[in-house]
Structure 1
Amino acid sequence: MPTDSLEWETRDRRVAYSCPGFDVVNESVRLPDGTETDFDYLSEPASVCVLPLTPDGDVVCIDEWRQAVSRVSHGLPVGGTEPEDDDLEAAARRELAEETGHEADELEPLVTVEPANGIADAVLHFFVARGCRPTAEQRLDHNESIRVRTRSLEALTDAVADGEVRDGRTVLALSYYRLFGTDRDSDEV
Structure 2
Amino acid sequence: MTAHKKFEEITLRTEPIFKGKIISLQVDHVQLPNGETATREIVKHPGAVAVIPLLDDKMIVVEQYRKPLEKSQVEIPAGKLDAGEEPLQAALRELEEETGYRSEHVKHVSSFYTSPGFADEIIHLYVAEQLIKGEARPDEDEFLECEAITLEEAQQYIRDGRISDAKTIMAVYAWQLYRLTGQI
**TM-score, structure 1 normalization:** 0.88
**What residue ranges of structure 1 are gaps of 5+ in the alignment?**
none
Give the distance between the partners of 2:129 and 2:181, measured in 1 at CA. 19
Q: Answer yes or no: is the 8 Å Cα contact 2:28–2:39 preserved in 1.
A: yes
Give the distance between the partners of 2:46 and 2:106, measured in 1 at CA. 21
Percent identical across equivalent pairs?
23
Give the distance between the partners of 2:181 and 2:149, measured in 1 at CA. 24
Give the distance between the partners of 1:146 and 1:6, measured in 2 at CA. 43
- Secondary structure at 2:5's aligned position in 1? coil
Mapping of 1:32-111 within 5 angstroms? Answer: 32-54=33-55, 56-85=56-85, 87-111=86-110
Q: Answer yes or no: is the 8 Å Cα contact 1:41–1:119 preserved in 2.
A: yes
Partner in structure 2 of residue 117 of structure 1? 116
Q: What is the CA distance between 1:84 and its match in structure 2? A: 4.1
Q: Answer yes or no: is the 8 Å Cα contact 1:110–1:177 preserved in 2.
A: no
Q: State the Cα deviation string for residues 133-165 of structure 1 (Å, max 9, x = none).
A: 3212x2222321111111123321332244331
Q: Answer yes or no: is the 8 Å Cα contact 2:53–2:127 preserved in 1.
A: yes
Give the distance between the partners of 1:105 and 1:156, measured in 2 at CA. 25
Partner in structure 2 of residue 133 of structure 1? 132
**What residue ranges of structure 2 are gaps of 5+ in the alignment?**
none
Give the distance between the partners of 2:103 and 2:65, measured in 1 at CA. 25
- Secondary structure at 1:42's aligned position in 2? strand
- Secondary structure at 2:6's aligned position in 1? coil
Q: State the Cα deviation string for residues 5-64 of structure 1 (Å, max 9, x = none).
A: 21111111232101111101211101111111211111101110100011x121111001
Give the distance between the partners of 2:103 and 2:119, measured in 1 at CA. 31
Query: Matched residue pairs, number?
Result: 182
**TM-score, structure 2 normalization:** 0.90
- Paired residue type of 1:188: G
Partner in structure 2 of residue 187 of structure 1? 181
Q: Answer yes or no: is the 8 Å Cα contact 1:12–1:28 preserved in 2.
A: yes
C-alpha spacing 1:144/1:73, structure 2 compared with 1 (3 Å): same
> Is it true that 1:168 corresponds to 2:162 in the alignment?
no
Q: Answer yes or no: is the 8 Å Cα contact 1:11–1:27 preserved in 2.
A: yes
Partner in structure 1 of residue 25 of structure 2? 24
Q: Answer yes or no: is the 8 Å Cα contact 2:101–2:133 preserved in 1.
A: yes
Give the distance between the partners of 2:35 and 2:169, measured in 1 at CA. 40
Give the distance between the partners of 2:172 and 2:68, measured in 1 at CA. 23
C-alpha RMSD over aligned residues: 2.1
